[in-house]
Chains A and B, each alone.
Chain A
Amino acid sequence: MNRRDILRRSAAAGLLATPAAGLLAGCATSGGDDDKGDAGTYQGTKSAQNPLGVKEDAPLEVVIFNGGFGEEYAKAHEAMYREAHPKAKINHSATQEINKTLQPRFVDGTPPDVVNNSGAGQIDPGGLVAQNALADLGELLAAPSLDIPGKSVKDTLLPGAVEVGSYDGRFLVMNYTYTVYGIWHSTKLFTERNWQYAKTWDEHIALCKQIKAAGIAPWTYAGQHPRYMSWPLISTAIKFGGPSVATAIDNLEPNAWKSDAMKAAADAWYQIVKDKFILDGSPGLDHKQSQTAWCQGKAAFISCGSWLESEQKDVTPAGFDMTVAPTPSLSSGDKLPFEAIRGTAGEPFIVPAKAKNVAGGREYLRTMLSRKGAQDFTRKVASLTVVAGATDGVELPFGLSTVVKALEASGANGFNWVYNNYYRKLERNLVDAACGEFFSGRSTPAQFLDQCQKGADSIAQDSSIKKYKRAA
């Protein structure tokens, strides 16, 4: 039998199977059609001891993303939950592929009670929200804190922790860690060379000249994920023009990307491209490769979030002492002070709307947000949580201690944007591509902002994408 026969015969087999099509079609989407849902199958009585109304013996299923933080911290949180509810059976599992594991269960209407929706295989939060797949966590915010007397859960959180998980005013995603985004340098390198981190843009450019003269590239970035460079650029614009720059972008306002502040920021950042202050070949590096080049001292600055220290743990030389700093101020007329830094909650946890034990899910999150739970997390994985002051008495690694200091200095001036949560495609695809062109010198500031704006407009016009608005 030759190949032609095989093809012919398989085509025949396909024909035979056609009558079954009617039966099969609709299988994928036929599960759990009743939108009444089984939500809250397990319901207990609310009391001062049990403000969320957990049913004592209801089992709780927790699915954890097994990434940089591992799963040990979650087992500790589960042990705490069981202490309070000894009759509850906890079903714990961990996976690197949240999406692949859980997508069928969401469709089927039988999702777990708590999900750590994180990692590269994360489920697009916007998709979950748009499909009403998430339980409202407002009740959790209003409940009293587990071990910080006299405060509600909401009162114990750092600024911005609630906003970033809120969609149209409903708190749906509990982001557990607190991430600071800034510009990183090695204190060791800077002390050795007697360099001072610059507070204004002019000083920054002067410093870059000095660094380049010393034979080191001032900057490097993840050329394959160039959106990392959009963070300091937008931060510069927000510090120059105030937080409304961010709300305009988040709300997809017309020409939000072409505001005067964004123009000023893009022009400023173009300087480091024009003057070749970027490590040769950076456009060809991925995030790990660029961070490693930075750790090897080939470049002085890199833009990243506060996960950088643990991500680079294996390749950072001893005594490197990485330090985070805010973006330099553009001018003396900046609306926000130099110390203002972008801080936001990350590492999302969700309670699916169709979970059997929604109350238990909320209660589990309350356990995580207790002082004890937060401290245990910081100790285990060296990352901040959204619980304010939970690092007191915990010894932090060098980089993380600079994060805490930057956060304290920034105080109420901290800012953030959420368009990347609302419209993941806009940051991950469209702004990303624009940044790639801009920072490799293939487009001008005007072209860069045009390309970003065009991306934002295409999202705004796409009627199949649910839109969100946030107040300033």
Chain B
Amino acid sequence: MRHGRFPLIVSFLLPPLVLYGVFVLSPYLQAFQISTTDWLGYSAQADPVGLANFRTLLHDGYVWNALTNNAILLAVVPVLTIVLGLFFATMLTMGGRKGRAGVTGVRGSAVYRLVYFFPQVLSVVIIALLWKEIYHPTTGLLNGALRSVGLPTPAWLGDPRFAFWCVLAVMVWSNVGFYVVLFGAAMQAIPRDIYEAVLLDGASRAVMLRRITIPLLWDTVQVAWIYLAIAALDGFILVQLMTNGGPNFSSDVIGMRMYDTAFGSETKFGYASAIGVVMFFLTLSVAVLALRAARRERIEYS
């Protein structure tokens, strides 16, 4: 039997590895190569220019503006999403009546869980269009509500003071549901007897959350952190559909810059690839840093 195993392994592993190489790795490597050329995208002519594209990038105010926005996203979106996700998940799994031995969620938590998860079922495009209508300055839900209580009604997506934060809010909104379910599932896996023990010891809810739940959820939070950080460095679809980076570049992100450079307002594929390479390294460093910073002793319960 043993001699039959090698061909089996090869035939099962080789095709996916080849596919991965051709469709995942090779485009990456090509992007690196293209970023050192002045390729304009519609002819085979591409002359190597060394690192000139990267030098231009360093002095490109629009790129820096976009990167600043990504940095704000990176600082705000994961924190906000994880805090909200943890809060809702705690309420759903252990927010129920106090004093009972055992831990239950608030009444109707199954329904809430469904409602929270709902944005996850929608495609990002639908979410963007939905919120574009909610932010509609005259007929939108938001301004309708503001008007009914006599508050001023800004032109949300048309105002550089608000446009970026409007998109950020949608980003958090569309993500929270998933993490509620993720954290909820992880909380379910925590053995009930731990809670029963600390409840008997007279621990309050806040202490329970801080001392028991979060440490035991740490692996999950770490995963959430990395995913959200990567999402914060992207944000392209929402921005493109809701504001197209405007007004006056106030909601621009780096992905939007890359797309615009390659397909939107000009066709500089070499330069766009250079932006892509920068994005690649930024995302990679953020992921590595997040892993390092979040490294802790693993807690095993058996």
Contacts and interface: CB of A to CB of B under 8 A. Distances in A.
Contact of B265 (A17, A28, A428, A440): A428
Nearest to A34: B44
Interface string B17-45: 10011000110011011100111111111
B247 A437 contact: yes
Contact of B21 (A2, A17, A298): A17
Contacts of B46: 29
A188 B156 CA distance: 32
Interface stretch (A50-58, A103-111, A202-210, A310-318): A103-111
Interface string B126-159: 0000001001111000010000000001111111
Nearest to B33: A25
The CB with the most chain A CB atoms within 10 A, among B42, B46, B156, is that of B42
B13 to A, nearest CB: 11
B43 A106 contact: yes
A464 B30 contact: no
B155 A429 contact: no
Given A13-B17, A20-B21, A283-B159, 5 more contacts: A17-B25, A281-B143, A281-B153, A285-B138, A429-B260
The 4 A-B residue pairs whose C-beta atoms are closest, nearest first, are A281-B137, A283-B158, A284-B158, A284-B155
Contacts of A31: 44
8 contacts: A2-B219, A26-B33, A29-B46, A32-B44, A224-B246, A280-B153, A433-B248, A436-B248
A223 B153 CA distance: 16
Contacts of A216: none
B136 A285 contact: yes
B44 A424 contact: no
The CB with the most chain B CB atoms within 10 A, among A7, A30, A32, is that of A7
A127 interface: yes
Interface residues of B, number: 54
A126 B226 CA distance: 41
Nearest to B62: A429
B44 A132 contact: no
Contacts of B42: 103, 106-107, 123, 127-128, 131, 133
Contacts, number: 154
B69 interface: no
Nearest to B291: A4
Number of contact residues on A: which range applies?
35 or more
Given A25-B33, A280-B137, A281-B143, A99 B263 contact: yes
Interface in B209-265: 219, 222-223, 226, 243-244, 246-249, 260, 263-265
A3 B247 CA distance: 39
A14 B280 CA distance: 14
Interface of A: 2-4, 7, 13-14, 17, 20-21, 24-33, 35, 99, 103, 106-109, 121, 123-124, 126-128, 130-133, 223-224, 226, 279-286, 289, 293, 298, 424-425, 428-429, 432-433, 436-437, 440, 442, 464-465
B34 A132 contact: no
B241 to A, nearest CB: 10
B30 A28 contact: yes
A61 to B, nearest CB: 17
A27 B249 contact: no
Nearest to A353: B43
A101 to B, nearest CB: 13
The CB with the most chain B CB atoms within 10 A, among A2, A108, A298, A433, is that of A433
Contact of A282 (B153, B158, B244, B268): B158
Given A32-B44, A127-B42, A284-B158, A424 B247 contact: no
A442 B247 CA distance: 11
The CB with the most chain B CB atoms within 10 A, among A14, A31, A281, A289, is that of A281
Interface in B48-101: none
Nearest to A423: B266
A32 B44 CA distance: 6
Nearest to A17: B25
Contact of B155 (A29, A35, A440): A440
A20 B29 CA distance: 9
A27 B244 contact: no
Contacts of B33: 25-26, 28
